[in-house]
Amino acid sequence: MRFEAGKLDASSVKLTLSGVGLAVNDARCAAAEGKLVCQIGTVKAGAGYVLPARGVLVVEAEYSRPDGPTVYRLATD
């Protein structure tokens, strides 16, 4: 799974993963209510963050920009 910051910094990035047989390789992720929640922190403008994961069906990304918070949901296949 890859998160791209875009043209502005994305701060307080939190990725919530749901699916079947979820597994990730990142100490910033923890199980919560049958999902995996990853507290990534800040991703600088123009940069990306790659989370090695398997079993992911839906990803919800929550983050803040200078103009306010954003929630984005992505369904995978």
Domain ranges of the chain: 2-75
The answer to whether the CB of 37 falls within 8 A of the CB of 27 is no
* Burial class of 62 by CB neighbour count within 10 A (0 to 12, 13 to 18, 19+): middle
What is the per-residue pLDDT across 3-60, written as a single tens digit (0 to 9) for each?
Answer: 999 999 999 999 999 999 999 999 999 999 999 999 999 999 999 999 999 998 899 9
Give the span between the Cα atoms of 48 and 61, in whole angstroms.
13
Q: Name beta bridge partners: 17.
A: 36, 59
Name residues whose C-beta falls within 8 Å of residue 42's C-beta, 6 or more positions apart in sequence. Answer: 9, 10, 11, 12, 13
